Each structure stands twice: as structure tokens, then as C-alpha cells.
Amino acid sequence: MKKLVYIGNNFAKKSNYHSAMETLSNLLVSNGFMVIKSSSKKNKIVRLIAMCITIIKHRKSVDYILIDTFSTINFYYALVTSQLARILKLNYIPILHGGNLPNRLDKSPIFSKLMFHNSYLNITPSKYLEFEFSKRNFKTYYIPNGININDYSFKLRNNIQPKLLWVRAFDTTYNPLLAIKVLSKLKGKYPMATLCMVGPDKDGTLQKAKQLAKKMNIADAITFTGVLKKENWHVLSKNYDVFINTTNVDNMPVSIIEAMALGFPIVSTNVGGLSYLIENNINGILVALDNANVMTDAIVKLLQNPTKVEKSSLNARKKASTFDERLILEKWNEILKDENDR
């Protein structure tokens, strides 16, 4: 049995927010790997210390260290733990999540080289980051985030209503206020338009969203659910017809893949790696960053074109099936098997 230490923010049990870390850990465990996760400590310093202690504790028995790597403050967790693994002569594998990581590579070239040039391999869940890292000569391998496609009940959308669904954390990076503005404009043409926003509050943006909704006199048309378990928002999603993604920075969001699997026509900002996931006017629509007018116009065009909606819904499900976890597991097995078996 291969033993892995997985370094990241292990908050799934505390928050009900089903992270990529939780999904991958469960997939690996169900297929015979032993996975030690660290850390669930809330305090950032305590969390980093716990991560380092976990690596040291298992240094004699671990086969690989997996390290979730983002572009902001969590970048430094990855830096410190990767260099500890390097000192201990352990194989470590950064898993690249942050849509803004290319900027981090340019902003912190020395730290980036220390981490990514000395890794066993750098795993990216997006073609976008694969391209950005490869052109900077970092050895990178593409393994997308996986889903069990059989867990997603497909609903074919065609004759849709102006019922919008937004699923993400309330964080300025993901620009939830844009969703409020879009609904306000949409209600000018469709007075019965509604919006459901699912996700935890990360930086106080939830309160700002509620205040903006009240200011625009559309609070009664918006449902704020807070964080929901994956299966719960999947059931909720059957009541909505258009999935919107308003983010300013992004990589390869699992929420988009899930929305595709559920059969949603998707309207998303065209940032980061999203153009590698969404083929414009094929399995979704890409629009300009932070522009309520163009996003609203795209939604209106969908509402007026049932044929386009149906094709988008079918193509979205087809795209999502390429992320089935059975295919993902094969790629991880190839990476994590014994070197002499390669």
C-alpha cells in the first residue's frame, strides 16, 4: 500500500465545503492508497506547524508528499513544506490550483524555482496552467479534477426560464456582486427572474452582496443558502436553468464541471483557464470580465433560443464525462506507481 501525505487546507468536515483535496483524497483511499491529510487547524501559523510536523512524523514511511498550491498566502505553505520535504529527501508533488499562479511565478521567481524545479513532478488540473508552467520550463503533467459522473443526475435544459444559479465562495476574487447586478438588469426584461447563490462567506462579501441586493430592491428575488453539501445543491439545482460564473481569476473550477454534468447552459467570465474548459457557444458562453451588460445579454440570448440551450446542455454533459474519476485515477496510478515499474 502506497502511503501519501497530503498537505492542504483540510476543512471539509468543519465547513461542509467539498474541496478538491477531499475529493482526491477519497478517490485515492478508495483505490488502496493510505492518505494522511494535514492540516485542519484554523490558525494559519498553527496550521503550517502542523503540516511540517506531519511531514517529519511520517518521513520514514511516506512515498510521496502531495501539496495543494495556490497563488496567494497559501503559496507560502506550499513553499515551506516543499522545502522541508526536499531537505528530508522526500518526493513531493505540488498540485497547482491557483488561477493566478502564472503571476506568482513572475512575481516570485526564486521561490518558484525552488519549489517547482525541485519537485518530483508538478500536477495541474487545467490545460491553462499546464501551458503556463511548461513555457517556463517546469515539468508539468495534466490531471484534471475528477467527478463520479454517475453521481450527477442529468437534466436536459431547452425551454428554460430566467432562474439563475451561482455556486462559489463569497470572495472578491469570485466577484459575487456581479451576479446581483446581472439579476437586476435581467429583471428589467424578465420581472420574474430569480437567483440562488450557494457558498460560504470567505471575506465578508456575503454581507456586501445582501446589502447590494437590498439597495437594488431585488432582495426578495435572491436566495442565499450558505454552504451546502454537494448532494444538497445538486438537488436544489433542478429548480434552476442557467448557471453563471462571475469570477475575476480562475483555473479549472470543479463547480463548472459539476454544472456541466447536471446539464446546465453556462455563462461565465472568460478568465484564466476557463477557455480551456468552456468552448464558447458550444458547451457554454464566455463573456468579458466584470461586465453586467454583456453577461445579461448572453443570458437573454439563451432564453430566446431553446435550440441553442439544448445543444449547450447536451455538449456540457459530454464534456463533463471526460472528467470521470475512473479516467483520473488511471493517471494518478501512473504517476504514483513504483519508479522501477514505469
Read off the pLDDT of each residue in 276-302 and give the average, rounded to a whole number. Answer: 97
> What is the pLDDT at residue 251?
87
Average pLDDT, the chain: 94
**Model pLDDT for residues 242-277, shown as the tens digit of each residue:** 999 999 999 889 999 999 999 999 999 999 999 999
> What is the pLDDT at residue 175?
98
Decide if pLDDT at 5 tops 80.
yes
- What share of the chain in percent tops pLDDT 90? 88
73 CB burial (10 A radius; 0-12, 13-18, 19+) = exposed
Decide if pLDDT at 98 tops 90.
no
How would residue 20 be classed by pLDDT, with cut points 50, 70 and 90? confident
Pick 18 or 332 by higher pLDDT.
332
CB 267 within 8 A of CB 244: yes
111 CB burial (10 A radius; 0-12, 13-18, 19+) = middle
Decide if pLDDT at 341 tops 60.
no
**Model pLDDT for residues 188-226, shown as the tens digit of each residue:** 999 999 999 999 999 999 999 999 999 999 999 999 999
> What is the pLDDT at residue 339?
53
Pick 283 or 74 by higher pLDDT.
283
Q: What is the DSSP letter of 284?
A: B
Buried b (16+ CB within 10 A) or exposed e, 260-285: bbbbbbbbbbebbbbebbbeeeebbb
- What share of the chain in percent tops pLDDT 70? 96
Decide if pLDDT at 111 tops 50.
yes
Decide if pLDDT at 15 tops 60.
no
Read off the pLDDT of each residue in 148-155 and give the average, rounded to a whole number. Answer: 95
How would residue 342 be classed by pLDDT, with cut points 50, 70 and 90? very low
Read off the pLDDT of each residue in 40-60 and give the average, rounded to a whole number. Answer: 96
> Phi, psi (5° rounding) for residue 239?
-90, 0
List domains and CATH numbers for the chain.
3-146+324-341 (3.40.50.2000), 149-321 (3.40.50.2000)
Decide if pLDDT at 73 tops 80.
yes
